[in-house]
């Protein structure tokens, strides 16, 4: 039987203080903030770590109604953190 892949999910505010403040409130201040994390694109990103895909989906479900602007990143196992906004961002559009 194949092993299930384990993913870590992250959200990155897109230069919008209001989005960052909303995510900080949702995630409980700085508890899950990851600052200047190098990603697969070679650039550092300020990411909020989700507890899992369900938490990421919950924020996505409110993206439009709360006018939030953020990118979605994930990491499979110990691999690089990569942006997947184009794949999953449509869910909250």
Give percent helix, percent strand, percent coil of the chain, each to the nearest 5: 35, 30, 35
Query: Residues 6-45: pLDDT tens digits?
Result: 999 999 999 888 898 899 888 886 656 778 899 999 999 9
Query: Can you read off the two tokens belonging to residue 43?
Result: 């650039």
Q: Is residue 14 part of a domain?
A: yes
Burial class (CB in 10 A: 0-12, 13-18, 19+), 23: buried
Reported pTM: 0.85
Query: What CATH number does residue 14 fall under?
Result: 3.30.70
Say which range, 12-16, 33-37, 46-50, 66-70, has the weakest mean pLDDT.
Answer: 33-37
Q: Is residue 27 part of a domain?
A: yes
Cα 60–Cα 67–Cα 33 angle in degrees, nearest 5: 60
Supply the mean pLDDT for the chain: 86
Q: How many domains does the chain have?
A: 1
Per-residue pLDDT band at 4 (split at 50, 70, 90): confident
Going through the chain in order, the beta strands assigned E by DSSP cover: 7-13, 33-38, 44-49, 70-76, 81-83
């Amino acid at each position: 039987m194949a092993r299930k892949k384990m993913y870590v999910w992250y959200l990155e505010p897109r230069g919008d203080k209001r989005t960052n403040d909303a995510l900080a409130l949702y995630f409980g201040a700085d508890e899950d903030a990851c600052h200047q994390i190098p990603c697969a694109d070679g650039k550092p990103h300020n990411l909020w770590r989700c507890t899992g895909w369900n938490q990421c989906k919950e924020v996505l479900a409110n993206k439009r109604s709360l006018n939030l602007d953020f990118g979605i990143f994930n990491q499979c196992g110990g691999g690089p953190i990569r942006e997947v906004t184009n794949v999953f961002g449509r869910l909250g559009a």
